[in-house]
Amino acid sequence: MTVDELLAAACPVIRDTGWAFYYVPATTATGAALGLDAGRFYVLGRAGVLGDVEPAVVSAAFGYFNPDMIARAWNAGRAIVAPRVAGAAFMECCRKHGRATLSAVVGLDTFVEAADRVLAATDGDGLALFAATAAEPLADDLPARAMQLITVLREYRGSAHLVALRSVGLASKTALFAKRPGDVRLFGWRDGDGVPTVDAEVSAQLSAAEEITDSIVRPAYAVLDEQARVAFVDGLHAIRAALSAT
């Protein structure tokens, strides 16, 4: 398995599983106990690791979302709970979800060992949301640590991809409309906000951005040898199956 094959096999699974805890009942209950609805807990919890920043900083870290929606959720949420408190609570929800769903996964130890090595080899320069998320203490127990590592590595590629989009001159709003047109309202965009043109040039820019994203994250994954690469991918598939079963 080459490094590029590793990225092709692993990164889509990380993308699709790293957010698995966001809206499960246990997470929304934690948010409710803090006085936050699910949407506000998502925004304040995910971005709270950045500290009590201005809404524009959160929008820059997230990308894709309508900044007005982010500002409303962030300001309403931080009027109730300090962002760092919400951020810590959100990450604890991540750990708890791992404990609730991944305890029976076979090979979790070798997956975590490989994921730890990848995380240790990352470079957070310019990737503020990833760096802030990665700075949260990692759990000691395998199920919680596995879920947390996947979430952190999801932020790694996500932050890198925003840099890649900027490097090819593509706004994240346009990228959203090109890749996920059915979800634009979920991200806060309405009819009056304007619909960006999605054409062959945009498709070419997206392809270029994906290649740049791979080039940014590739060195971290390249530290794994063949055996560790296989263990990492096998572990991800087993984790995805366990998460899907809940």
pLDDT tens-digit readout, 1-25:
999 999 999 999 999 999 999 999 9
Give the CA count within 13 Å in the CB-facing half-sphere of 236: 25
**Model confidence at 89, in pLDDT bands (50, 70, 90)?**
very high
| pLDDT tens profile 123-163 | 999 999 999 999 999 999 999 999 999 999 999 999 999 99
Q: What is the CA radius of gyration of the chain?
A: 18
Q: Is the CB of residue 73 less than 8 Å from the CB of residue 45? A: no
CA neighbor of 13 nearest in space, from 176, 150, 119 = 150
Instruction: Say if residues 124 and 130 touch (Cβ distance below 8 Å).
Output: yes
Which residue shows structure tokens 């948010």? 31
C-alpha angle 132-95-126 in degrees, rounded to nearest 5: 15
The single residue listed with the structure tokens 């994240």 is 172
Asked if residues 45 and 85 have their Cβ atoms less than 8 Å apart, the reply is: no
Q: Which helix (H) or strand (E) holds 44?
A: helix 38-47
N-terminal to C-terminal alpha carbon distance within the chain? 31
54 Rama sector, left if φ>0, alpha if ψ -120 to 50, beta otherwise = beta
Looking at residue 153, its amino acid is: L
pLDDT at 230: 96
**84: exposed, middle or buried (Cβ count in 10 Å: 0-12, 13-18, 19+):** middle
Residue 27 CA to its chain's centroid (Å) = 16
The two tokens of residue 82 are: 């300090």
pTM above 0.85, yes or no: yes
Residue 59 CB coordination number (10 Å): 20
